[in-house]
Amino acid sequence: MVGDEDSIALVLNRLRRAQGQLAGVISMIEQGRDCKDVVTQLAAVSRALDRAGFKIVATGLRECLTDTDREGKEPMTEAELEKLFLALA
């Protein structure tokens, strides 16, 4: 994972929140809860995952472009970064 400790902590918080929300959605479906409530919570999970992904991309953008010492890998090209970013759309 790229980024400083604060950025990583923010991403992990968002992912843990999404994990809890997803567990809630599963429980709601199992309980036969109203479709509107389920979809609302599912949308919240989706937003939390999107934000985590965008934070990862935003935090690691510079490192991905310039860091040649990523476990012996070449830096990512602009096209690769664009593809990665658009995968979140």
Q: Tens digit of pLDDT for each residue in 39-74?
A: 999 999 999 998 888 888 777 776 666 665 556 677
Instruction: Judge residue 14's burial from the number of C-beta atoms within 10 Å of its C-beta, 0-12 exposed, 13-18 middle, 19 or more buried.
Output: buried
Whole-number pLDDT of residue 58? 79
How distant, in Å, are the alpha carbons of 14, 53, 74 from that of 49? 7, 6, 27
Of residues 40 and 3, more confidently modeled:
40
Residue count (the chain): 89
pLDDT of residue 25: 96
Which run of H or E residues covers position 33? none
**Domains of the chain listed by start with CATH number:** 5-86 (1.20.58.1000)
| More reliable by pLDDT, 60 or 5 | 5
Query: Is the pLDDT at 6 greater than 90, yes or no?
Result: no
| Residue with more model confidence, 62 or 30 | 30
